[in-house]
A and B are shown apart, each in its own frame.
Chain A
């Protein structure tokens, strides 16, 4: 118990100053799973499950619910936020070691998200602008956000969600009118168990990105209703994913999607409203910037937070600057070569999500389930 108090001492400042409303938690979580999933997940799932991908997205409702229950159980059973929670459950040595890994992974994910998005922008919008400038610009924004504090960040996330979520649905709505053919969904349910479960795992692994919840939940001002918030997140995510996948299949057909790098982007480019509003992809990319910046800043913030624990620091704001350099370098290295990014996208990311964001929490879950302290 004494030890717990000590940990609270380090966190004292944050605990007293920052309180996040449940809606802000909702926004954080949506930003975590939404934009990246929106950009890369449909293609990934459709390539596995073809025209039945939308069924697997729906099925993720159940596997997602399990993951959410697991997370909320961990939150209930532990007294400290992540990463202090690791120490609580595994002891100080393993705790610190794991936190170090998490720190690296958070930095990696931030850089990966950044590299992916910058790659996407240079491919599609600003082909002549050097990557470094884009990375610099986006990191500058993230830096300002982190510096302005968690409370402002939470509010910013709200605004991102107001703008981003309706726009995402708008894209899908408008996109699904571009010469759709419902018959492309046929045959419904004709899918092998292997493909189905693979796609399900892929869909569920994205929900592993909810992992930062283990930190944010402790800043919430109403933890009692946390579960309902999480289920709203899940519902929103499932609705968004299913609608996106449906729209893409109906417009392109499963075979064609296999070839497209960013199917949702191809969908956006098709949008044509009364021959006057067309080629509006740049507007939607602009909206994605909001989401992506939000998503990468959350992990960046977590990286700072974790290193505060590892090195027993009293503050962590100042770490934003050195980390920005690390992130910039890593993402520059990543986007140097098309192959590296492809390997990461296709293989590495899912393993990371599954291993670190689902399996390790699962261990904690099991541990707190069976060895609950008296």
Chain B
């Protein structure tokens, strides 16, 4: 009996002695919505966190109050040190695992990105499924401190914008940290990231907006894609079709047709032609007609061909511009090398070391096939029907 008592005492002691080391009271925590890393002018690394204030459900207005977030930053010699310095001015423990946004500062991307990779993947608190963006022509603080209408805070606002434009407009591609990391660590492809900036709106207020895509080479940002070039990237990489373009018909520049892509299927394949490497870029797109400006007769079969041709040309030009930009900056963000390594592994083994020099001069062959699927609620141009006085 005595032995049993001693044993159970020992067990209880063992259990109790463990205490609650890793426990953390929820009131001592702060939820981060966004993180950011940059290099200051003095060469130190600075880390900035945007923190959400808690939302009281019993708040009768039920509205998001102004200043629902705070932005805190710290700086140090390494990212870890800088992020720990944040606690110097924050009475609570910032919880990073809720942060959906990871912002890279302009200085950081133009100087050296390699300091970031290790930290990103070694640190368990950073969610690899959160999204990375580059701050363009604005400091991190400015972006995190500016307002985003109808959003809890700018970090979440940017993300929502990123997703919704991918679905409805189709210019920029969201890139998760995981994807970014994969692109950076896989030979034959260079990473790209969408960029965010602050611009003045009509009432001269600061608002956040997406602006361009940053492309990288050797851990450095080597250029940026403008809207058109970003679209080229979009056509070749997106998984959510929904891009919207406006094409001008060749015979009548007045006629403008808005098309929305509903299915995009694109491929990049290497081909050897006459001992020369050619990248075949094919892109099949299904479009819906969403708007027509000008007088057109939709039942005219030639018109459909015309629209398709115009769309083909437009998409091809987007892609061509993107490729040209990439080759100019020597950044293989479209993954030509990766495609070679996948489909011509033997060839890739030979040219892998020399790929950097070969890439700018690789020939491409862009082929776009578009197909009109639906014309939404009306068959014919309203204007045309009215003129003829009823359906022909």
Contacts and interface: CB of A to CB of B under 8 A. Distances in A.
Interface of A: 123-130, 133, 136-137, 140, 178-179, 183, 186-187, 190, 252-253, 255-256, 259-260, 266, 269-270, 272, 278-279
13 contacts: A128-B21, A129-B18, A133-B14, A133-B18, A178-B178, A183-B342, A186-B342, A187-B342, A187-B343, A255-B182, A256-B181, A260-B121, A266-B128
B178 A270 contact: yes
B325 interface: no
A137 to B, nearest CB: 7
Contacts of B178: 178-179, 252, 270
A253 B182 contact: yes
Contacts of A183: 342
Interface of B: 11, 14, 17-18, 21-22, 97, 121, 124, 127-129, 176, 178-179, 181-182, 185-187, 239, 341-343, 345
Name, among B124, B127, B239, the residue most crowded by chain A CB atoms within 10 Å (CB to CB): B124
Contacts of B176: 179
A366 B329 CA distance: 65
A324 to B, nearest CB: 12
Contact of A272 (B11, B129, B343): B129
Given A187-B341, A253-B186, A278-B129, 4 more contacts: A125-B22, A133-B18, A136-B14, A136-B18
A123 B124 contact: yes
A128 B345 CA distance: 47
Contact of B21 (A126, A136, A178): A126
Nearest first, the 8 A-B pairs at minimum CB distance are: A186-B342, A128-B21, A133-B18, A126-B22, A128-B22, A187-B345, A129-B21, A255-B186
A252 B129 contact: no
A6 B21 CA distance: 53
A276 B178 CA distance: 19
Contacts of A140: 11, 14
Nearest to B117: A259
A252 B186 CA distance: 10
Contact of A256 (B11, B124, B185, B341): B185
A73 to B, nearest CB: 41
A136 B14 CA distance: 8
Nearest to A269: B128
A212 to B, nearest CB: 29
Name, among B18, B121, B341, the residue most crowded by chain A CB atoms within 10 Å (CB to CB): B18
Contacts of B121: 259-260
B4 to A, nearest CB: 14
A209 to B, nearest CB: 28
Contacts of B97: 279
